[in-house]
Amino acid sequence: MFESILKIGESLREYRGEDIPIEQVREGLGLKIIFNLDDCTIDCELFECKGDKAKEKAREFVWIGNARGNAPQLRLTTNNPEYLLNPKKKNKWGIGAILKYIEERKLYSYDKEIGKLYHYLRELKESFFINNEDLTSKLKDICNKKKISLKEITLCTVSVSKNGIIIDLAKEQGYGRLIRHILRYEKTLKYPLKHGKCHICGKEGEVLINPDYPKGTFLGIYVIDKIGFLSGVSKSESSLLKTHTVCFDCKEKLVLGMNYINKHLSTRIGNLTAWIVPTILNGEITPNVITYCKEAFEVANSFSGFEKIREVEEKVELLSRRLTISPYIVNIIFGRPQQSQFIFQALIPDVPVTRFIQICCISKELARKMSKHFPYLAHGVERWFIGFKEISYLFPLTKVNGDVRGKPLIELFNAMLKGTYYPREHIIQRALLYVRIHRFGNYGGYNIVEVNKEAREREICRGLLLYNLLLNILVELGVIEMERLKELSVLEGVDKDIADFCLDQGYSEWQTGLFLLGVLIGMIGIEQFKRGDKKKSILDKIDFDGMSVEKVKWLANVIVEGLRNYRILEFNETIYAQAKKLIDRNIDRLKNPLDNTFYVLSGYAYSTFRAITGGGKHEQVTE
């Protein structure tokens, strides 16, 4: 994976001429803080940071983000004016931190441009900060007079005025050279350069025994500040050389590649953050290849990405023709960046780009089938398309101290992408947990988004139907094994819509029997709703934790009694008879209590959602 990041950085440097990782700036206004060295006054000047201008100004003023954690703020461009105006910030005061950095390394003596920058900054410090005065309030006063709101400022930088000429220090050659030096050599004073072998490219020469990769990124898994990580559990130079060393060139490419991945190849999947790292089996990673790999991931991630599938297929096919084999694979990293560290969660390695397209096509076809059963629901295919994001919204994950434990969901994604076995019962368990959370309002310990009471039944029904789709997607992907029938014996007297739905889902006889019981529960529930029983007491007869065979038999008797009580037995007697026949014929198949509850609830979801969306015989009007 490091090789992939390296190649991305190499590609960016070659194709775009990038050697400094520029950060994205939040849209707003930029502010030049102008220190007049002639009369010792301060002024300011606005510049626009919106749209294309935001990128342009970020590059122009070398915005590389603030230093993380306790690292010195070696920056003259920041999003916090205090970092430029308040010496009491100590190593977070950019002007002082840079002067100290240059002086300690005597950079002014062998680089004229850095020396020129140094003299400007030293004169600035002696003119304005001789007493370490915080000038933040002075800037606020100036901005107030000019009717400038500091809340709108998203980028600020240091300029000086000398002999009537304004000089933007971040645009000076010396500043660019200084930043390159910082990115390459930071901390090498504490851990000096040594002759050794780069663990990335394998070449011998000068190497950094402290790689000092950007904090909060997954490059940071290589750390030397934890002695337990080091070879020989020692901080000796020989131990550091054996642990992880990198040459300047490789570090520069890695940082550049990592910065690009953070900005352009990261995505949110529910509560999870994922990074897509493309690689190629033969050939080079060009910017086009990188873009296509991200687009391919997005077609399986959400419906908005799916809409681009034709375009992505054409691009991938075009690129593949240029090479002798199908070369495009990605590594997906899950983790959580923090201020000074990266919490690694999982890696899904070597996923072919074509797998994303396959998942998308399967989901699209199943969504199309589902949409025809709910014809009055607008944007049918979009409503039923299941990508990674939709799965993350359906899949309950526990929360501990506010942190979502994503491992079970990542395991599912891994199975989908790698084609490895996944226990079917885990999906059923999550489906029933999803129902319980909404039914009883137990949102506190889970990632499931809370909805108001009036909308919960709709969420339950749609969620159960989506879980049916998810099971079928996993079957098509070869991830789970499930008994599926391509033909179903004629359900005499049962509505064709219901029979077709069972056939589309591939239900076996015993699953169909349970589903039909659920359909009848839905019918009873609709009648109860009409009579003011908004919570539908019939649902209290279902054990959401699972129902044994005996409970299913008991439930069947409760259902027939309910149909009589609400005088709808004559309209549904055939459905009940077919359900009873199929269950009795397959009674030995009803061994799993969770399965029994799931298929009963699936039938309930079908009939209720048809009523809610206006596609059933008995329409239910929700509040």
Taken as a whole, the chain contains a residue count of 623
Taking residues 268-287, what's their average pLDDT?
Answer: 82
In this structure, the strands spanning 204-207 and 165-168 are unpaired
> Mean of the per-residue pLDDT values for the chain?
87
Q: b/e per residue, 98-121, with b = 16+ CB within 10 A?
A: bbebbeebebbeebebbebbbebb
Q: Residue 225 has what pLDDT?
A: 56
The C-alpha atoms of residue 142 and residue 144 are separated, in whole angstroms, by 5
Does a structural domain hold residue 128?
yes
In this predicted structure, which of 5-19, 149-163, 252-266, 498-512 has the lowest mean pLDDT? 5-19
Give, as one character, the DSSP assignment of residue 208: B
Assign 324 a pLDDT band (cuts: 50, 70, 90).
Answer: very low
Give the Cα separation of 434 and 82 in Å (integer): 47
Q: Within this chain, do residues 491 and 581 fall inside the same structural domain, yes or no?
A: yes
Q: Is there a domain that residue 457 lies in?
A: yes
Distance of CA 284 to the CA centre of its chain: 27
Is 202 found in the same domain as 155?
Answer: no
- Of 396, 419, 395, the closest CA to residue 479 belongs to 419
pLDDT for the residue numbered 325: 41
Query: Taking a C-beta distance cutoff of 8 angstroms, is the pair 498, 519 a contact?
Result: yes
Tokens encoding 113: 């441009």
Residue 581 belongs to what domain range?
486-623
**What pLDDT, on a 0 to 100 scale, did the predictor assign at position 15?**
63
Domain stops at, among 482, 510, 539: 482
Quick one: average pLDDT of 357-375?
92
For residue 60, what are its two tokens?
């122009």
Q: Is the pLDDT of residue 144 over 50?
A: yes
Tell me the per-residue pLDDT of 455-469, one tens digit each, with 9 for 90 and over: 999 999 999 999 999
Question: Which range among 252-256, 352-356, 517-521 has the greatest average pLDDT?
Answer: 517-521
Strand arrangement, sheet containing 272-280: 266-269, 272-280, 328-337, 342-352
521, 559 Cβ separation under 8 angstroms: yes
Average pLDDT over residues 76-88: 96
* Tokens, residue 282: 């033969």
Whether 212 maps to a domain, the answer reads yes
- pLDDT value at 288 more than 70: yes
Please indicate, yes or no, if residue 10 is contained in any of the structural domains. Answer: no
Q: Does residue 622 register a pLDDT over 50?
A: no
Do residue 319 and residue 434 come from a single domain? Answer: yes
Residue type (1 letter), 86: N
Range with the poorest average pLDDT among 83-87, 349-353, 529-533, 619-623: 619-623
Closest Cα partner for 151 from 26, 23, 22, 57? 26
Pairing outcome for strands 41-49 and 28-36: antiparallel
For residues 85 and 156, membership in a common domain is answered with: yes
Higher pLDDT, 225 or 566: 566
Quote the pLDDT of residue 294: 82
pLDDT at 577: 94
Residue 207 has pLDDT above 90, yes or no: no
Question: Among residues 204, 229, 256, which one ends one of the domains?
Answer: 256
| Number of alpha helices (DSSP H) and beta strands (DSSP E) in the chain | 24, 13
Q: Which helix (H) or strand (E) holds 612?
A: helix 593-612
Helix (H, G, I), strand (E, B) or coil at 213: coil
Same domain, 618 and 520: yes
Name residues whose C-beta falls within 8 Å of residue 54's C-beta, 6 or more positions apart in sequence: 24, 25, 26, 27
Q: Which residue has the tokens 């100004």?
A: 57
Q: Are residues 337 and 472 in the same domain?
A: yes
Handedness of CA 380, 381, 386, 389 (dihedral sign): negative
Structure tokens at 579: 């359900």
Indicate whether 2 belongs to any domain.
no
What is the distance between the alpha carbons of residues 429 and 396, in angstroms, rounded to a whole number? 10
Query: Above 80 in pLDDT, residue 623?
Result: no
The tally of domains found in the chain comes to 4
- pLDDT > 90? residue 398: yes
Residue 416: name the closest of 297, 306, 511 by CA.
297
Asked if residues 160 and 120 have their Cβ atoms less than 8 Å apart, the reply is yes
Band of the pLDDT at 615, cuts 50, 70, 90? Answer: low
> Tell me, what amino acid is at 282?
N
Q: What is the pLDDT of residue 196?
A: 87
- Determine which helix (DSSP H) or strand (DSSP E) holds 608, and give its type and residue range: helix 593-612
519 shares a domain with 415: no
Interacting residues of 202 by C-beta distance below 8 A, sequence separation 6+: none
Cβ–Cβ under 8 Å, residues 255 and 247: no
Do 331 and 303 share a structural domain? yes
> pLDDT band at 310, cuts 50/70/90?
low
Considering the domain architecture, whether residues 362 and 451 belong to the same structural domain is answered as yes
Q: φ, ψ for residue 164 (rounded to 5)? A: 80, 5
**pLDDT on residue 317:** 61
Q: Where are the alpha helices (DSSP H) in 106-149?
A: 107-110, 112-128, 136-145
Is a pLDDT exceeding 80 seen at residue 410? yes
92 and 199 housed in the same domain: no
Q: What is the mean pLDDT of residues 531-551?
A: 93
Q: Name the 3-class secondary structure at 434.
A: helix
Q: Decide if 13 is inside a domain.
A: no
Average pLDDT for 205-210: 81
Report percent pLDDT > 70 for the chain: 87
pLDDT grade, residue 34 (50/70/90)?
very high
Q: What average pLDDT does the segment 487-496 reach?
A: 76
Cα 5 from Cα 261, distance rounded (Å): 8
pLDDT mean over 380-405: 91
Q: What is the mean pLDDT of residues 333-354?
A: 87
Claim to verify: residue 388 and residue 532 sit in the same structural domain? no
Each residue of 348-376: b (16+ CB within 10 Å) or e? beebbbbbbbbbbbbbbebbebbbebbee
Q: What are the backbone angles phi and psi of residue 552, rounded to the nearest 5°?
A: -65, -45
Q: What does the pLDDT average to over 196-208?
A: 87
* 466 & 341 share domain: yes
Average the pLDDT over each of 213-217, 366-370, 512-516, 582-586 and give the range with the smallest value: 213-217
Q: Of the residues 215, 235, 256, which one is the last residue of a structural domain?
A: 256
The alpha helices in 441-542, defined as continuous H runs, are 453-476, 496-505, 509-530
Average the pLDDT over each of 197-201, 230-234, 270-274 and give the range with the smallest value. 230-234
Give the per-residue pLDDT at 426: 97
Domain annotation covers residue 353? yes
Q: What is the mean pLDDT of residues 252-257?
A: 85
Q: Does the pLDDT of residue 239 top 70, yes or no?
A: no
Q: Which two tokens stand for residue 81?
A: 């004016």
**Is 3 a residue whose pLDDT tops 50?**
yes
Tokens linked to 421:
């076995």
List the structure tokens of 85.
């105006």
Asked, for residue 16, whether it belongs to a domain, the answer is no
**Token pair for 425:** 């019962």
CB atoms within 10 A of CB 530: 13
Q: What is the mean pLDDT of residues 109-115?
A: 89
| pLDDT confidence band for 88 (50 / 70 / 90) | very high
Q: Can you tell me the distance from the alpha carbon of 526 to that of 615, in angstroms, rounded to the nearest whole number? A: 13
The pairing of beta strand 194-197 with beta strand 204-207: antiparallel
pLDDT grade for 233, boundaries at 50, 70 and 90:
very low
Residue 365: half-sphere exposure toward Cβ, Cα within 13 Å: 10
